């Protein structure tokens, strides 16, 4: 999860997927776009967090390609 400098959660992977799905459905361009996140994680959490956020991006791709929400 993305956290601020105080360790408070700012964006869960599920919420990222929702936001990306919304943006993709309302864009007028089919061009790819980049998403950047910043946060802090405890030692050892990085791989797990990368997988969770990568899964969220994949989920938003599937949802927008199939038209589901």
Residues in the chain, total: 69
Across the chain, which has 69 residues, the per-10-residue mean pLDDT values are 70 86 90 81 72 83 64
Q: Number of structural domains, the chain?
A: 1
What span, in angstroms and rounded, lies between the C-alpha atoms of 66 and 48?
Answer: 27
What per-residue confidence (pLDDT) applies to 67?
56
User: In terms of residue numbers, what domain contains 54?
Assistant: 2-66
Residues 67, 25 contacting (CB under 8 angstroms): no
Q: What is the pTM of this model?
A: 0.64
What per-residue confidence (pLDDT) applies to 26?
92
What per-residue confidence (pLDDT) applies to 1?
56
Residues 16, 37 contacting (CB under 8 angstroms): yes
């Amino acid at each position: 999860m993305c956290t601020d400098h105080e360790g408070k959660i700012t964006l869960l992977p599920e919420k990222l997927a929702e936001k990306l799905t919304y943006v993709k459905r309302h864009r007028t361009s089919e061009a790819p776009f980049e998403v950047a996140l910043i946060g802090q994680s405890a030692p050892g959490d990085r791989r797990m967090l990368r997988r969770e956020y990568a899964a969220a991006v994949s989920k938003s791709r599937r949802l927008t390609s199939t038209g589901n929400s």
